[in-house]
């Protein structure tokens, strides 16, 4: 054991060898090599995700549901005119429980009763069960009510 302690005594206090072929790197340059290292990969992303808020889907009462149903019937009667609507609907979050409400304005291309959805001209598809409010914006008196 004592022999191992004295094994490197002859070189331990010698200066670091310097060559012209491989010049010594500056301390700042050496430090930059280790800057991208992240001990907790994904930690920041998880914190951001935990801070992101979601909203619970509201359950509509019977009168609110009746108003939406009446407006859907109006849309069905006037679908050939591609009425313009503003719809507020719920989109479920893919990661967390809950989701968010989105309001979109566009022209209705089709009300699909079988699939229970509204298709807008811009390609947006809204499930009828996710609608919490719908306003018909077309100027015709037939749409208001």
Residue ranges of domains in the chain: 2-51, 62-143
pLDDT at 126: 97
Per-residue pLDDT tens, the chain, 145 aa: give them: 555 667 778 888 888 788 888 888 888 888 887 776 667 778 888 888 888 899 999 999 999 999 999 999 999 999 999 999 999 999 999 999 999 999 999 999 999 989 999 999 999 999 999 999 999 997 454 444 4
pLDDT at 19: 83
pLDDT at 35: 72
pLDDT at 16: 79
pLDDT at 142: 46
pLDDT at 30: 80
Q: Which fold has domain 62-143?
A: SH3 type barrels. (2.30.30)
Dump the DSSP string for the chain. -HHHHTTTTTTTTSPPP--SSSPPPPHHHHHHHHTT--SSTTHHHHHHHHH---BPPPPP-HHHHHHHHHHHHHHHHTGGG--EEEEEEEEE-SSSSSEEEEEEEEEEEEEETTTTEEEETTS-EEEGGGEEEEEE--S-GGG--
């Amino acid at each position: 054991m004592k022999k191992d302690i004295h094994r490197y005594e002859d070189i331990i206090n010698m200066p670091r060898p310097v060559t012209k072929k491989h010049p010594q790197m500056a301390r700042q340059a050496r430090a930059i090599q280790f800057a991208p290292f992240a001990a907790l990969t994904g930690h920041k992303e998880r914190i951001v995700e935990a801070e992101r808020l979601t909203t619970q889907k509201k359950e509509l009462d019977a009168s609110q549901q009746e108003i939406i149903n009446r407006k859907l019937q109006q849309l069905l009667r006037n679908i050939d005119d591609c009425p313009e609507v503003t719809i507020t609907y719920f989109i479920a979050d893919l990661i967390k429980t809950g989701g968010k409400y989105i309001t979109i304005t566009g022209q209705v291309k089709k009300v699909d009763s079988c699939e229970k959805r509204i298709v807008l001209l811009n390609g947006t598809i809204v499930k009828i069960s996710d609608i919490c409010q719908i306003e018909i914006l077309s100027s015709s008196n037939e749409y208001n009510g």
